[in-house]
């Protein structure tokens, strides 16, 4: 029995750590994907409006900075709200445990009984978990929360900005380094290949079909590039 308990205690944090890392990787992939799509649309659209080099550079740099700031602020606000909500739930549960310990114990036993345990086993499990760490037991069973895994808005904001910059830098470099006559085809090819890769990787991290996701995001990216390039050409002709 002691051996089983030790194995369980070691396994749970390990599984949680792996899950957290996979979620962070998936968020990074999605952030890079956003950067690729957003910046590709900007630079290809400007390239459709003018053959000059400077406007593309200005649009690319401005888009990278604005996009990274926007992603960072949005992620910070979102994660801060999530963290505040989690902290409120933790404090609320701790207060309820302090005020009504017997009622909370009965509630915990009822939760385990609803999951399929017999009344006697559910009561035993609830009592043992309450004795060990009542707050953690209730947060897990009632809310699915782990007090040790409260998200950091600063880390989320920095990660979001960094992944956007890394992804967005690809189409900017591609369009600036390619010859003027070939910059749109070269950038489009680079962007679509990158989107296929990020789509495949994001799906594999989430356990989905990599090929299907890669095809889906590539088709969407191609449609977006065609649309922004067409708008750029139309505006360039009209304004010019």
Q: For residue range 180-221, list pLDDT tens digits in order.
A: 889 899 999 999 999 888 888 777 766 677 788 888 888 988
Q: What pLDDT was estimated at residue 168?
A: 92
Note whether 39 and 171 are within 8 A (CB): yes
Cα 167 from Cα 181, distance rounded (Å): 24
Measured distance CA(231)–CA(180) in Å, rounded: 19
pLDDT attached to residue 11: 35
User: What contacts 67, CB < 8 A, 6 or more positions away?
Assistant: 34, 35, 38, 39, 164, 168
In the chain, where are the structural domains located? 41-239
C-alpha 166/C-alpha 169 separation (Å) is 5
Name the one residue in this structure whose structure tokens are 């591609």. Answer: 174
How is 58-74 classified by DSSP, letter by letter?
Answer: HHHHHHHHHHHHHHHHH
Which residues in the chain belong to E strands, given as ranges? none
3-state secondary structure of 237: helix
User: pTM for this one?
Assistant: 0.70
User: The tokens of 81 are what?
Assistant: 């709200």
The whole-angstrom separation of Cα 88 and Cα 24 is: 24
Spans in the chain with pLDDT lower than 70: 1-27, 147-151, 205-207, 237-240
Q: For residues 209 and 202, what is the distance between their CA atoms, to the nearest angstrom?
A: 10
Both structure tokens of 213 = 């996701």
Residue reference for tokens 């992620």 = 75
């Amino acid at each position: 029995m002691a051996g089983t308990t030790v194995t369980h205690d070691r396994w749970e944090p390990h599984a949680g750590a792996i899950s957290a890392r996979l979620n962070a990787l998936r968020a990074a992939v999605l952030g890079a994907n956003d950067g690729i799509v957003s910046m590709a649309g900007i630079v290809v659209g400007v390239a459709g409006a003018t053959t000059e080099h400077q406007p593309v550079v200005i649009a690319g740099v401005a888009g990278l900075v604005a996009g990274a700031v926007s992603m960072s602020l949005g992620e910070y606000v979102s994660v801060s709200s999530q963290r505040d909500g989690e902290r409120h739930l933790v404090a609320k549960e701790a207060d309820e445990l302090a005020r009504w310990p017997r009622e909370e114990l009965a509630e915990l036993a009822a939760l385990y009984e609803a999951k399929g345990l017999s009344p006697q086993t559910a009561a035993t499990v609830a009592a043992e978990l309450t004795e060990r760490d009542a707050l953690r037991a209730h947060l897990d069973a009632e809310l699915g929360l782990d007090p040790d895994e409260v998200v950091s808005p600063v880390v989320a904001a920095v990660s979001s900005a960094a992944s956007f910059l890394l992804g967005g830098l690809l189409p900017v470099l591609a369009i600036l380094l390619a010859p003027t006559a070939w910059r749109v085809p070269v950038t489009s090819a680079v962007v679509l290949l990158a989107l296929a890769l990020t789509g495949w990787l994001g799906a594999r991290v989430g356990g989905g079909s990599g090929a299907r996701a890669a095809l889906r995001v590539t088709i969407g990216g191609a449609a977006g590039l065609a649309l922004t390039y067409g708008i750029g050409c139309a505006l360039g002709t009209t304004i010019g």
